[in-house]
């Protein structure tokens, strides 16, 4: 009998501003979605978005609390494609970089690192201290992908949702997931202002 491969993704929402990033990831990911939220994230969601915690939980196939240390994602033997921490607080970054696994989010991230799985951190903090930068550098050297919540403006975003989708799309790009959340860069002919006047006069 052939084995059926289940595509799974873990989405962790930490206590940083920007809960909408994790919500959009849940909406865009295909396959089984496993969600874990910190206590602070549960407070931030209704404060920053139009969603309730219950609505966000309904977007996932499995939901764990951050103190459920016996959850499946706490074990290296449990398989999944990638883990996203979106948004990722610098406090979480510090834990991941220093091997502190005292919550389910930090334990699951630790598992990703030791098992050489894809771990994408959507960091939402600026400016950054030298401590923060050193922690991020340490993780990057271990193969962790650090994505700042820093949108490109070449797709000409018009709304906050457009900006969010650009950042979420870049997260999906890191694990090879196809999407149409933003228009990718295309080389455009740049016409200097003076040349535009000449072209209009010839029309």
Delimit the domains of the chain by residue range: 8-202
- Per-residue pLDDT of 49-62, as tens digits, reads 999 999 999 999 99
The position carrying tokens 């790009």 is: 173
- Per-residue pLDDT of 110-137, as tens digits, reads 999 999 999 999 999 999 999 999 999 9
Whether 76 contacts 112, CB under 8 Å = no
pLDDT at residue 48, rounded to an integer: 97
- On the question of pLDDT at 80 being above 80, the answer is yes
- Per-residue pLDDT of 181-202, as tens digits, reads 999 888 766 666 665 555 455 5
Mean pLDDT of 149-163: 94
- On the question of pLDDT at 6 being above 80, the answer is no
Instruction: For the chain, give the longest Cα–Cα distance.
Output: 73
- Per-residue pLDDT of 143-154, as tens digits, reads 999 999 999 999
Q: What is the mean pLDDT of the chain?
A: 92
pLDDT at residue 144, rounded to an integer: 98
pLDDT at residue 197, rounded to an integer: 55
Tell me the CA distances in angstroms from 71 to 78, 83, 169, one per residue in order: 10, 15, 28
pLDDT at residue 137, rounded to an integer: 98
What percent of the chain has a predicted confidence (pLDDT) above 90? 87
The position carrying tokens 């994790």 is: 22
Greater pLDDT, 106 or 188: 106
Q: Does domain 8-202 have CATH number 3.40.50.1950?
A: yes
151 by DSSP, 3-state: which?
coil
pLDDT at residue 186, rounded to an integer: 80
């Amino acid at each position: 009998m052939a084995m059926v491969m289940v595509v799974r993704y873990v989405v962790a929402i930490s206590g940083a501003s920007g809960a909408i990033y994790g919500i959009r990831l849940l909406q865009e990911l295909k396959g089984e979605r496993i969600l874990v939220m910190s206590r602070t994230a549960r407070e931030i969601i209704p404060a920053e978005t139009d969603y309730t915690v219950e609505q966000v939980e309904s977007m996932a196939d499995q939901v764990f609390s951050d103190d459920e240390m016996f959850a499946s994602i706490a074990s290296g033997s449990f398989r999944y494609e990638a883990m996203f921490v979106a948004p990722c607080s610098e406090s979480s970054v510090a834990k991941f970089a220093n091997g502190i696994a005292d919550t389910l989010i930090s334990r699951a991230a630790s598992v990703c690192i030791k098992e050489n799985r894809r771990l994408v951190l959507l960091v939402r903090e600026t400016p950054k201290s030298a401590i923060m930068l050193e922690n991020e550098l340490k993780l990057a050297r271990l193969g962790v992908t650090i994505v700042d919540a820093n949108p490109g403006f070449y797709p000409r975003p018009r709304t906050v949702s457009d900006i969010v989708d650009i950042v979420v799309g870049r997260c999906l790009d890191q694990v090879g997931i196809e999407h149409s959340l933003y228009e990718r860069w295309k080389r455009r002919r740049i016409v200097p202002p003076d040349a535009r006047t000449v072209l209009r006069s010839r029309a």
